[in-house]
């Protein structure tokens, strides 16, 4: 959804669901780039067309980059945002401000007959001690964006999409594609 909005009219973006495909790829990579590539290659093998996949998460400086590639399942249960946020706050309880962090996103583009293109984008901020905002998902109520001065949960979706890690990765991908022309 987010990728489609950011790519705009430049590409005909079709989701796996729209293609009638289901694919469960084990995210065994140690980096966002590795996981994005695993997903894009697996999808290209099934769909036989150009594919785009991403992997993203939150990296907290005081935690050595965790939760990182385990962001969605940090608490041990995939997709339990509330439990992930509680664990993050507990682990940062005694860490003084600023509690620097960044969202990172890797996007892999795989095309038959071409080398994959893998790009990375990030947006910097810090982790607050309490939730702010109702929008977004995941760690958004705790992530105070350096660029926006509000949490991603408080941010207008269009503003968030302009400064997000995915937006930075999409810009990098478009630059690489333009350089190929």
65 lies in which domain range? Answer: 2-180
Q: Between the CA atoms of 32, 34, 40 and 44, what dihedral angle is there, to the nearest 10 degrees?
A: 180
CATH number of the domain within which 24 lies: 3.90.950.10
Please say whether the beta carbons of 6 and 119 come within 8 A: no
Interstrand relation of 100-110 and 51-60 (parallel, antiparallel or unpaired):
antiparallel
Write down the mean pLDDT value for the chain.
93
Residue 40 has pLDDT above 80, yes or no: yes
Dig out the tokens for 44 from the structure. Answer: 């290209």
Residue 140 has pLDDT above 80, yes or no: yes
List active site positions: 55
The CA distance from 160 to 150, in Å, is 10
pTM: 0.92
Q: How many structural domains are present in the chain?
A: 1
Q: Between the CA atoms of 125, 127, 130 and 131, what dihedral angle is there, to the nearest 10 degrees?
A: 50
């Amino acid at each position: 959804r987010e990728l489609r909005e950011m790519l705009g009219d430049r590409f005909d973006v079709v989701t796996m669901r729209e293609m009638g495909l289901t694919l469960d790829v084990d995210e065994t990579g140690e980096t966002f780039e590795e996981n994005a590539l695993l997903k894009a290659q697996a999808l290209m093998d099934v769909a036989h067309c150009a594919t785009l996949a991403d992997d993203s998460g939150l990296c907290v400086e005081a935690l050595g980059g965790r939760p990182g590639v385990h962001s969605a399942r940090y608490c041990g249960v995939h997709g339990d945002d509330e439990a992930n946020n509680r664990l993050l706050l507990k682990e940062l309880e005694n860490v003084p401000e600023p509690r620097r962090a960044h969202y990172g996103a890797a996007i892999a583009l795989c095309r038959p007959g071409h080398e994959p293109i893998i790009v990375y984008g990030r947006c910097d901020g810090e982790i607050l001690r309490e939730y702010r905002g109702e929008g977004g998902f995941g760690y958004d109520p705790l992530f105070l964006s350096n660029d926006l001065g509000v949490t991603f949960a408080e941010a207008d979706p269009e503003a968030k999409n302009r400064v997000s890690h995915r937006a930075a990765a999409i810009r990098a991908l478009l630059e690489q594609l333009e350089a190929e022309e």
